[in-house]
Amino acid sequence: MKKLLLILFVCILSMNFALAKEDIDITYNDGIYHIVLKGEKIKKKIKVYASQSLMTNEEAHKASGAKLTVNAGFFDPENQKSVSYVTMDSHTYEDPMLNENLYKNTFLRKNLDKILNRTEFRIVECDRKEFKYEMVPHNTPVDFACDVKYAVQGGPLILPQLRLEEELFLVKDGETIVRESSSVLHKVARTVLGLKDGELHILIITDEHPMDMYEVQDLCKKLGFERAMGLDGGSSTSMNYKNKYSVISTKGDGAGRQLKSFIMVY
């Protein structure tokens, strides 16, 4: 009888272990971390956080107790204000319209509409029960009976089409490139979000395999993403997972760049 109970106990433990299978899958290949956030339940565990003062990804990760933390939106290191919209708990927490440096620069002021409508990643709750992901320009209205719980703006949109000029990452005079932002034409580290079959994918493209944005688009197509967008990259590219993985750009002093906003999974 005791032996039978022991076998039953072991079976129950095995079942619980199987049910508790990780909803975060991380693979690494050729300098690229591919993170997949699986299932419906994890959508409630994803939050966006914006810090009042700049901090490294690792500092934010440790302070929050999150399981996974990656860098998110663009910011102005001069005044530590955001250049990206950030929504937390259904409230706009960071508004680039409050960043005076965007108005001081004549060129940026003339093109502010493009900056303000850059692509953002959203976690949307509908009918107070269903959660879904969206990657859309900031001005895109939310569906009826839905609420944007968390969102962070980045850009550019990568799939289904690359919106470099529409989001002011590239400015041309005829065929001549006169302005480039976020090194979109250069090979640098990248943080990329992708959607596929209702699941969120995160690519951490490290300094070991830097890419320009056209190469990133090709990779996203190869992976079968339906939609994809960039976040702040280059020296901002960062990722921490539990105490197992810690990724920062090797550019600079090796301590990791201080950042403004983060995507966290609990």
Residue 10 lies in a domain: no
Determine, yes or no, domain membership for 17: no
In a domain, 12, yes or no: no
Residue 193 lies in a domain: yes
Residue 194: both structure tokens together: 């992708």
**pLDDT tier for residue 250 given thresholds of 50, 70 and 90:** confident
Residue 15 falls inside a structural domain: no
Range of the domain at 108: 23-265
Q: Would you give the distance in Å from CA 191 to the centre of its chain?
A: 7
Of 178, 165, 170, 184, nearest in space to 230 by CA: 184
**Residue 157 belongs to some domain of the structure:** yes
pLDDT in tens, 173-202: 999 999 999 999 999 999 999 999 999 999
pTM passes above 0.85: yes
Position 75 confidence tier, pLDDT thresholds 50, 70, 90: very high
Whether 67 is covered by a domain: the verdict is yes
Nearest C-alpha neighbor of 114 from the set 76, 193, 169: 169
The pLDDT value recorded for residue 17 is: 39
Rounded CA separation 247/33 (Å): 9
Is residue 13, in this structure, part of any structural domain at all? no
- One-letter amino acid of 172: K
Which value, to the nearest 10 degrees, does the dihedral of the CA atoms of residues 253, 206, 36, 24 take? -40
The per-residue pLDDT of the chain, averaged, comes to 92
In sequence order, the 6+-apart residues with CB closer than 8 A to the CB of 227 are 135, 157, 159, 160, 194, 195
Could you tell me the CA-to-CA distances from 84 to 109, 174, 232 in Å, in that order? 15, 28, 10
Domains: count for the chain: 1
* 85-139 pLDDT tens trace: 999 999 999 999 999 999 999 999 999 999 999 999 999 999 988 999 999 999 9
Instruction: Let me know: does 150 contact 46? Beta carbons within 8 Å.
Output: yes
- Per residue in 51-73, pLDDT (tens digit) is 999 999 999 999 999 999 999 99
What pLDDT does residue 249 have? Answer: 84
